[in-house]
A and B are shown apart, each in its own frame.
Chain A
Amino acid sequence: MIKQQVSDDQTTAPVKLWKVSVSPHIKSSESVEKIMWTVVACLMPPLILSVFVFGIQTLFITAVSVVSCVVVEAVSQKALGRRVTIKDGSAVLTGLLLAFVIPPGVSPLLPILAAIFAIYIGKHLLGGIGYNFFNPALLGRAFLLASFPVAMTSAWLSPVEGFGIFSYLGTSIDAISTATPLAVMKEQGLAAFTEAFGSGAGLYTSFFLGWRPGCIGETSGLLLLLGGGYLLYRKYITYHIPVSILGTIAVLTWVFGGETYFRGDPLLALVTGGAILGAFFMATDYVTSPTTKISQIVYGICIGALTVLIRLKGGYPEGICYAILLMNPLSTVLDSWFKPKRFAPPQGGAE
Chain B
Amino acid sequence: MPVCRRGTPIESQDTESMLTFPKGGAHPPEFKEQTAGLSIEVMPVPDELELILGQHIGAPCTPTVARKEEINEGALVGEVKRGLGVPLHSPVTGKIKAIGTSAHPMRVTAPSLTIGVDHEADPVQYPEQDWQSFDGSELLQKVNDAGIIGVGGAGFPTHVKLNPPAGSPVDILLLNGAECEPYITSDHRQMLEHAAEIVGGAGIILKILGINECYIGIESNKQDAIKVMTAAAEQASTGDCSIKIETLQVKYPQGSEKQLIQAITGRKVPAMALPSAVGVVVQNVSTAKAIYDGVVYGKPLYEKVVTIAGKGINKPANLLLKVGTRIKDIVDYLGGLEPGLSKIIMGGPMMGFAVSSLDIPITKTTSAILFLTEDEIDTSPHSQCIRCGWCLEACPMGLEPKEIGIYVEANRAEDTEPFGVFDCFECGSCAYVCPAKRPLVQFVRLAKMKAKRP
Please give the residue numbers on chain A whose beta carbons come within 8 Å of chain B beta carbons, in ascending order.
1-4, 15, 17-28, 30-32, 34-35, 85, 88, 127-131, 235, 286-287, 289-292, 339-347, 350-351
Contacts and interface: CB of A to CB of B under 8 A. Distances in A.
Given A291-B392, A340-B395, A347-B277, A26 B182 contact: yes
A320 to B, nearest CB: 21
A19 B389 contact: no
Contacts of A34: 435
B435 A341 contact: no
A268 B307 CA distance: 63
B441 A344 contact: no
Contacts of A85: 383
Contact of A128 (B356, B384, B388, B397): B384
Contact of A131 (B268, B384, B402): B384
Closest 3 CB pairs of A and B: A291-B389, A24-B428, A27-B378
A343 B351 contact: no
A235 B3 contact: yes
A88 B354 contact: no
17 contacts: A3-B337, A18-B357, A19-B343, A22-B442, A23-B354, A23-B431, A25-B378, A26-B349, A26-B350, A34-B435, A128-B384, A129-B384, A286-B386, A292-B392, A340-B400, A343-B398, A351-B272
A23 B269 contact: no
B5 to A, nearest CB: 6
Contact of B432 (A28, A290, A339, A347): A28
A342 B398 contact: yes
Contacts of B441: 22-24
Nearest to B259: A343
Query: How many B residues are at the interface, by size bracket?
Result: 35 or more
B437 A31 contact: yes
A27 B389 contact: no
Interface string B358-381: 100000000000001000111110
B356 A30 contact: no
Nearest to A288: B387
B430 to A, nearest CB: 9
B271 A15 contact: no
A2 B337 contact: yes
B344 to A, nearest CB: 5
Contact of A23 (B29, B277, B350, B383): B350
Interface of B: 3, 5-7, 23, 26, 28-29, 182, 258, 268-274, 277, 328, 331-332, 336-337, 339, 341-345, 347, 349-358, 372, 376-380, 383-390, 392, 395-400, 402, 420, 423, 426, 428, 431-437, 439, 441-442, 445, 454
A18 B3 contact: no
Given A27-B434, A350-B270, 16 more contacts: A2-B358, A23-B352, A23-B428, A30-B390, A30-B433, A35-B388, A127-B384, A130-B383, A131-B384, A286-B386, A286-B389, A287-B387, A340-B395, A343-B398, A347-B272, A350-B273
Contacts of A343: 23, 258, 268, 271, 396-398, 423
A340 B398 contact: yes
A236 to B, nearest CB: 8
A272 B242 CA distance: 66
A19 B342 contact: yes
Contacts of B378: 25-27
A21 B383 contact: no
Contact of A347 (B273, B349, B389, B397): B273
**Looking at A3, A19, A235, which has the most chain B CB atoms within 10 Å of its CB?**
A19
A127 B402 CA distance: 16
Contacts of A2: 328, 331-332, 336-337, 358
B399 A20 contact: no
Contact of B454 (A20, A35, A346): A346
Nearest to A332: B387
Given A291-B388, A291-B392, A343-B23, A24 B383 contact: no
A25 B268 contact: no
A130 B353 contact: no
A23 B420 CA distance: 19
A3 to B, nearest CB: 5
A28 B380 CA distance: 12
- Chain A CB within 10 A, most for which of B343, B372, B384, B402: B384
Among A30, A339, A347, chain B packs the most CB atoms within 10 A around the CB of A30
Contacts of A346: 270-273, 454
B386 A129 contact: yes
A28 B6 contact: yes
Contacts of B343: 18-21, 25
A9 B354 CA distance: 26
A88 B23 CA distance: 31
Contacts of B396: 343
Contacts of A131: 384
A348 B31 CA distance: 42
Contact of A19 (B350, B379, B385, B399): B379
B407 to A, nearest CB: 13
